[in-house]
Structure 1
Amino acid sequence: MDIKLAKTQRLPMTKVVLLVIALLVGGLVVFTKAYTQSASNVVFQDELIVAKVQQGEFELSVKGLGSLVLEKRHLVTSISGGKVVEVLVKPGEMVTQGMIIARLENPALHQTLTQKQSLLSKTVAQHEAELAELKAKVQQAKTAHYDAFLAYKAEKAQWQAQKTLIDKGNSTISMLDHQRSEFAMQRSQKQVELQQTSVATQQAVLQAKMTAQQAEQASLYSEIKLLKENITALKVRAPITGQIQDVFIELGMQLASTSSVAEVADPRLLVAKINVAELDAPQVQVGQQATIDTYTSRFGAVVNRVSPKVVNGQVEVELSITNTLPIEARDKLNIEGVIVTSHQSNATFVAMPANAVANNQASVFVVDKHLATKKTVKFGQRSVNYIEVLEGLNKNQTIIISDMEKYTQDSQVLVR
């Protein structure tokens, strides 16, 4: 008799696989739950920017954007008016001091110069004739004075002789004749005085005339000199050695005196002007060291002026360049400037978190392996890229400095 054995039922393979997967997933969930503790969200490491807390010398600095500008610009103007007949330079060309950059034409100046020179010659001749006449009058007055003086001496000698004879008792000389001799002597003496006054008067007239003539001639000489200078100035020259920045004239233009012709500057005499935030401006002082970045080169500078005005929340700071300029340096080149305002010899600091504010508290995520925990940190002074840590972080801790605003409700997040 045949005995039938009961067949053992086996679970289908598919169910076995699903059971294994379920067990693995359950185990992973339990493991993850235990590993992440209270992490309520997940962030990916390649989306984060992290920084390590440092300790040591902390350099406080202020940053600003701006440009290089020419330290001095020379505006070339036309001393003389005239028509532009030649322009010899273009913007960007180098010129040396005294080099002709433009030529003007003004026939009226040449004509006026000829007329003034002719008038001067005529005036000088006329003055010489007037002086000759006045000198002759002076000489006549001197001659008359000398004749009067001789006459006085003769009258006085006669009166003296008569007086001597009368004093000796000589009766041949009457008192009447002696009296007449005395009157004649006095008249001659008075004539000498009058002639002496006449000489002084003629000499004064001569001197006054000479002074007036000299002033008149000097005026003409001055006019002629000015005309010659204006004619020479029709060749407009560069006042310094430098580079032509701009040219304001064209052929055929009629220029008045003091019209703008061109602008020239030494291209190597540059200063940097940057704008810093008005809240950072009080930290900036004249004499502080700075670094200028042209985005190609870096070189040193020093603060030499801080504007007292705030414009659109910015304060202009001017920096003098202390190092050799790089080859790309030129007027209006965009730059970035960093000014060192102070140093701290032993401070705790970290790269600037996105939500950090100087002298205030903020929450940051401290990373420990794959877990980031939110922590409140008290920050101090800020620099360009770093901020001082006063409380809440220790040296070598790693924090997330990128924007974590969407995780503000999380106390911990998992970092994958």
Structure 2
Amino acid sequence: MDKKIEKKRFNKKTILMLVGGAIFVGLVAYGYSLSLNKVYKADPDKITINKVLYGDFEDVVLLNTSVVPLTSVIVSSPEGGTVAEIFTENGASVVKGTPLLRITNPNALSNYTSSETSIIEQINQLRKLRLDLEQNQRVMSQDMMEIENSLRTASRKYKIDSVLFSKKVITLQEFNISSQDYEYYQGRKKILREAVKQENQSRTMQLKQIDFSIGRMNESLETIRQNIENMTIKAPVAGRLSSYDPVTGKSYNANEMLGKIDVLQGYKLQAGVDEYYINRVKEGQSANCEFNGKTYRLTVKKVIPEVTAGQFQIELTFDGASPEGLRRGLSLQVKLTLSDNSKSLLLAQGQFFQSTGGSWAFVIKDGKATKRNIKIGRKNHLYYEVLEGLQKNEEVITSSYDQFNQYDIIEVSK
């Protein structure tokens, strides 16, 4: 009898076709994944790799500072003009009042001379008015003396005539004449006394006004003479002359800086600080520096918040006397403490921060580095403080990402 032969479901040919199809799909999928994840093969000798550490984060910033005098006084001319003579050179030690240079300004000098002449004339007129008032006072005093003398004479005659009239030695008409003279001089004295009183009050007020006006005019006169004298520029304080480079014949505007005088009473430090720290640097913070093998403590004395070329300026003063041997223009490295130390994850500083802003980094695992989002906190001169995204002992590429910034995977070949 014939037997029915069952056809096999998977023959050899079918299996080979299925395996081939699977391989093809895998290759397609791998190629697609490669198209999504760009790979860059990096030479480990040309990149920097650092491990994430755990330890004390020292919240400090290193500053390159310049030594400047504790106090400097600007030298300027209150009046503009042209340099006529130079008496002192830059760097010279001067005492207060030392002549530095002389400027000329013919127009200003002419104006000062005219004003001086006018004021002197006004002062002379006021002095003449004062003399006239004093002369008038003497005249009224003489008049009062004459009236008082006439009154005394009339008074004696009146008293004598009163006795004679009572004894009927003289007539009534004669008595009336002496009586009228006595009353007349009494009235005149009263009127003149009132006039003298009013004149004295008026003269006192006028003399005060005259004295006040003369005083003010003398002050103006002194100011004018001082301005003329100020055309010879003198040292306002004792110290060392710096930033001083006048040229004979050069013109300067009024109050334009001609130089500085460094008062030799100690030094302070000036530094430019990266604008990254502008909200963290404050007056009163502590710092320290080394000089000639010794460590000195300092304090932030002034913070100038204006940012120029990515930096703002601060001034630091020594806690105590300035170190011996310190000189203007020296450079010192200062360690400025922003806050107390704290335990943190630490990642060495590197150029990657300029490429990513600290928002992500390439983290290495099994020879491949992939992008990972991270969060960076504070930084000091050595490390960044890691807040999120990394674990202790993980390896991170910390050098520049400029060459492979657009890649997703970095193969670090050995």
How far the C-alpha of 1:243 sits from its partner, in A, is 2.3
Confirm or deny that 1:76 pairs with 2:75.
yes
Q: Give the match for residue 53 of structure 1.
A: 52
Percent of paired sites with the same residue:
16
State whether residues 359 and 375 of structure 2, in contact with CA within 8 Å, keep that contact through their aligned partners in structure 1: yes
Give the SS at the match of 2:243.
Answer: strand
Q: 1:203–1:142: structure 2 CA closer, same or farther, 3 Å change rule?
A: farther
Q: CA RMSD in A?
A: 5.4
Q: Give the match for residue 137 of structure 1.
A: 139
Tell me the matched-pair count: 358
CA distance in 1, matches of 2:135, 2:327: 76
Q: Give the match for residue 365 of structure 1.
A: 364
State whether residues 151 and 182 of structure 2, in contact with CA within 8 Å, keep that contact through their aligned partners in structure 1: no
The structure 1 residue matched to 2:345, chosen from 330, 345, 348, is 348
Q: Give the match for residue 302 of structure 2.
A: 304
Q: Give the match for residue 246 of structure 1.
A: 244
CA distance in 1, matches of 2:179, 2:241: 93
CA distance in 1, matches of 2:99, 2:152: 73
CA distance in 1, matches of 2:40, 2:126: 107
The structure 1 residue matched to 2:315, chosen from 313, 316, 319, is 319
CA distance in 2, matches of 1:226, 1:93: 30
Q: Give the match for residue 187 of structure 2.
A: 190
Give the SS at the match of 2:302.
Answer: strand
1:90-105 to 2 correspondences below 5 Å:
90-104=89-103
How far the C-alpha of 1:187 sits from its partner, in A, is 2.7
After TM superposition, the structure 1 stretch with the greater mean CA deviation from structure 2, 117-126 or 403-412, is 117-126
Q: Give the match for residue 258 of structure 2.
A: 262
How far the C-alpha of 1:395 sits from its partner, in A, is 4.6
Give the SS at the match of 1:144.
Answer: helix
CA distance in 1, matches of 2:212, 2:388: 87
CA distance in 1, matches of 2:202, 2:385: 91
State whether residues 86 and 246 of structure 2, in contact with CA within 8 Å, keep that contact through their aligned partners in structure 1: no
CA distance in 2, matches of 1:401, 1:353: 5
Q: 1:156–1:398: structure 2 CA closer, same or farther, 3 Å change rule?
A: farther
Q: 1:135–1:397: structure 2 CA closer, same or farther, 3 Å change rule?
A: same
Q: 1:394–1:213: structure 2 CA closer, same or farther, 3 Å change rule?
A: closer
How far the C-alpha of 1:282 sits from its partner, in A, is 2.9
How far the C-alpha of 1:178 sits from its partner, in A, is 7.1
- The two structures have a TM-score, normalised by structure 2, of 0.61
How far the C-alpha of 1:387 sits from its partner, in A, is 1.9
Q: 1:62–1:97: structure 2 CA closer, same or farther, 3 Å change rule?
A: same
Show CA shifts across 1:333-358 (max 9, x none).
7x887654333422221213554567
Q: Give the match for residue 148 of structure 2.
A: 146
Show CA shifts across 1:267-323 (max 9, x none).
86555252523x5433333333456899xx99755262252x5667x4624232437
Give the SS at the match of 1:316.
Answer: strand
State whether residues 148 and 191 of structure 1, in contact with CA within 8 Å, keep that contact through their aligned partners in structure 2: no
CA distance in 1, matches of 2:117, 2:278: 64
CA distance in 2, matches of 1:208, 1:98: 42
State whether residues 87 and 99 of structure 2, in contact with CA within 8 Å, keep that contact through their aligned partners in structure 1: yes
CA distance in 2, matches of 1:122, 1:382: 76
- The two structures have a TM-score, normalised by structure 1, of 0.61
Q: Which has the larger radius of gyration?
A: 1
